[in-house]
Amino acid sequence: MAGRYGPEICYNLPPKIMCGIVGYVGRAEAAPILLDGLRRLEYRGYDSAGVAIVNGKQIETRKCAGRIANLAKLMTEKPPSGQYGISHTRWATHGKVTDENAHPHFDQSGKIALVHNGVIENYAALREQLEREGGHQFTSDTDTEVLAHLIGSIYEQIDGADSKARLVNATRAALKQVIGTYGIALVHSDIKEFMIGARRGSPLVLGVGKDENFLASDVSAIVAHTRDAVYLNDFDIVAVSRDKFEISSVAGESGNYQISKVEFGAEDVSKGDFPHYMLKEIFEQPNSVRDAMRGRLNTEECTAKLGGLNMTAGELRDVSRVVLTGCGTALHAALVGEYLIEQLANIPVEVEYASEFRHRNTPMSGNTLVFAISQSGETADTLGALRESQRKGFRTLGICNNVASTIARESDGGVYMHAGPEIGVAATKSFTSQVTILALIGLLLGRMRHLSSSQGSRIIEALEALPEQIESVLKLSEQIRSIAKKYVEAEGMLFFGRQFNFPVALEGALKMKEITYLFAEGHPSAELKHGIIALVRPDLPSIFVAPDDAVFCKNRNNIEQVKARKGPIIVLTSGDGAKQLKGIANDIIEIPRAPEFATPVLTAIPLQLFAYHVAVELGCDVDKPRNLAKSVTVE
């Protein structure tokens, strides 16, 4: 299939969401399938879990706060039976983390069970209306229960013998009243072998099997059972039976769909021999960086080939300004991209927090090109920034890892990362893949302007060398582990870098915060003496990203200032840097020498490993850090 980003191989990678939905209708017992699906989504981030299975007469529900292991224990003690049902892992948005607030939720009759990702913004007004006009009583504090009651109330008011059509129409009518985002699945105790799914702003995929069908918020939950998937669009409603499905829109129109073949299997979303997904994905970076470049380097013309941008050479030459927008790790990759594109292409670049871009009036000229960067392609703020940019008439491209994501579908073109599934909540290989792609964009634009063919050739050589250099960096893992043990009692850490590696310092601090919960800050090295030096003390380590480059001497000066104040120092360096810093730094990590534009890929990985090893030593849950989810699909 030719993707929106051009005629490239389409890897249907899983959208990452804040909580999980799994639904099943078929011939097998639903409980093991639903529980297995939830376990495959466990890393997403959640605080409670539950299932609702129709046993032929009524809906059996098991739900509780805490881990899926708690739910599994409940299901073992009193096994639910039935061949169709829905399940959910919740990440609280409305209501405390309690058994009562866990999904699924029921309507007033107790016959409709519903699970929901997203936020119903007008739930309070809907709840008040249902209480006032229908005498509805609610048992939870959630917005989700309100939606279940609304659907049930409308269902009771619709006449007709076809109960399936009545339930679809009731769902459609309810969703027309909803303001907010949703990915939902629901079942009715009186309607055999039938479930409904719908989405707006929160991913939902239909898995198509033989005499069985699935619903899931992430295809990784069902890939062990089927690799045929339909990625639902916003405002789609799907009615699912064991042997068929029908897709329509909230407006009542027939929905267009395409069955896609998922290009990865259950083994690709397993940890393999690694203790954590995060470590596995750190070690996958030689391949993910290689795949980001695969087929995109033109050695004959000394440039990059990015047909998915959907722009002619003339249109690319006319670009006078680039805006990069994203959130979290994607924003840090964009900050590296700012240095890359400005140096390689000599085009002004501005980086915007996606959450700020969509709400402020950013002055932009007519020849501005906007890139929305998101691993999942579903990040709410980044999607909002993309839509705002397009609303104002600017060509807006995507850089993402999910061919079926909303950003991939709605953007004007872009570049797929081809990084494979990233399961760990703390992004690792997505960062280096995004930086690699931004380097390709810089090379492409630069060769259209001032870069000579020999300069382009040297850039390509440096890029092609990266996978092997990454492999040598990964061999430092045990050394980095021993360093991590030395500083595991620290209450916080400072990260410093300059130029290309200032964003790497930000990313290193973010990794440390995400999985160790330690205080960590990233700063430009030169800002040390502008206030930050007041924090330096013997129990607060400073990590300097200081490769042997044009600003190495400046970095060394800052390092010596920290040393003079008895601050512990860890340095990432290359070339002659280790020799010059011997006796100054407490610990030195040497990486391969590379051109300045390529160093962020190499310097980021030791910081990922450092954060990982500190977190493991502290006993933290690396793959499921507290309060975090893989991707934020609600504001």
Q: Is residue 18 part of a domain?
A: no
Q: Is residue 3 part of a domain?
A: no
Q: Is residue 133 part of a domain?
A: yes
Q: Is residue 389 part of a domain?
A: yes
Q: Is the peptide bond before 547 cis (omega within 30 degrees of 0)?
A: no
Which tokens in the block code for residue 132? Answer: 């006032």
Looking at the structure, tell me whether residues 456 and 331 fall in a common domain: yes
Looking at the structure, tell me whether residues 100 and 239 fall in a common domain: yes
Q: What is the pLDDT of residue 8?
A: 35
The H or E element that residue 228 is part of is strand 228-231
Looking at the structure, tell me whether residues 173 and 260 fall in a common domain: yes
Annotated catalytic residues are 19, 630
DSSP state of 609: H
Q: What is the pLDDT of residue 137?
A: 95
Domain end, chosen from 423, 444, 475, is at: 475
Q: What is the pLDDT of residue 43?
A: 64
Q: Is residue 12 part of a domain?
A: no
Cα separations in angstroms, 287 against 283, 390, 417: 9, 34, 12
Looking at the structure, tell me whether residues 299 and 157 fall in a common domain: no
Structural domain count of the chain: 3
Based on the number of CB atoms within 10 Å of its own CB, is 361 exposed (0-12), middle (13-18) or buried (19 or more)? exposed
Looking at the structure, tell me whether residues 249 and 357 fall in a common domain: no
User: Apex CA 113: angle with CA 148 and CA 194, to 5°?
Assistant: 115
User: Apex CA 361: angle with CA 359 and CA 362, to 5°?
Assistant: 110
627: domain CATH number is 3.40.50.10490
Q: What is the pLDDT of residue 554?
A: 92
Alpha helices in 210-345 (DSSP H): 277-283, 285-293, 313-317, 329-345
Looking at the structure, tell me whether residues 259 and 359 fall in a common domain: no
Looking at the structure, tell me whether residues 217 and 349 fall in a common domain: no
Q: Is residue 7 part of a domain?
A: no
Sequence-distant (≥ 6) Cβ neighbours of residue 354 within 8 angstroms: 325, 326, 327, 331, 372, 379, 381, 382, 384, 385
The H or E element that residue 236 is part of is strand 236-241
Q: What is the pLDDT of residue 366?
A: 83
Taking the complete model, does pTM exceed 0.95, yes or no?
no
Q: Is residue 357 part of a domain?
A: yes
Q: What is the pLDDT of residue 256?
A: 80
Looking at the structure, tell me whether residues 320 and 466 fall in a common domain: yes
Looking at the structure, tell me whether residues 252 and 352 fall in a common domain: no
What pLDDT, in 10s, does the model give residues 398-417? 999 987 788 888 999 999 99
Q: State which residues form the domain around 439.
A: 271-475
Looking at the structure, tell me whether residues 328 and 208 fall in a common domain: no
Q: What is the pLDDT of residue 312?
A: 94
222: domain CATH number is 3.60.20.10
Looking at the structure, tell me whether residues 455 and 492 fall in a common domain: no
Looking at the structure, tell me whether residues 411 and 494 fall in a common domain: no
Q: What is the pLDDT of residue 629?
A: 60
Q: What is the pLDDT of residue 421?
A: 84
Q: Is residue 385 part of a domain?
A: yes
Domain end, chosen from 446, 475, 504, is at: 475
Block mean pLDDT (10 aa), the chain, length 635? 38 47 96 93 78 93 91 93 94 78 94 94 95 93 95 93 94 96 95 96 92 93 91 94 95 84 70 91 97 96 95 95 96 98 96 90 87 90 93 95 84 92 90 98 96 97 97 98 95 95 97 96 92 90 94 91 93 92 94 96 98 96 77 53
Domain end, chosen from 475, 495, 520, is at: 475
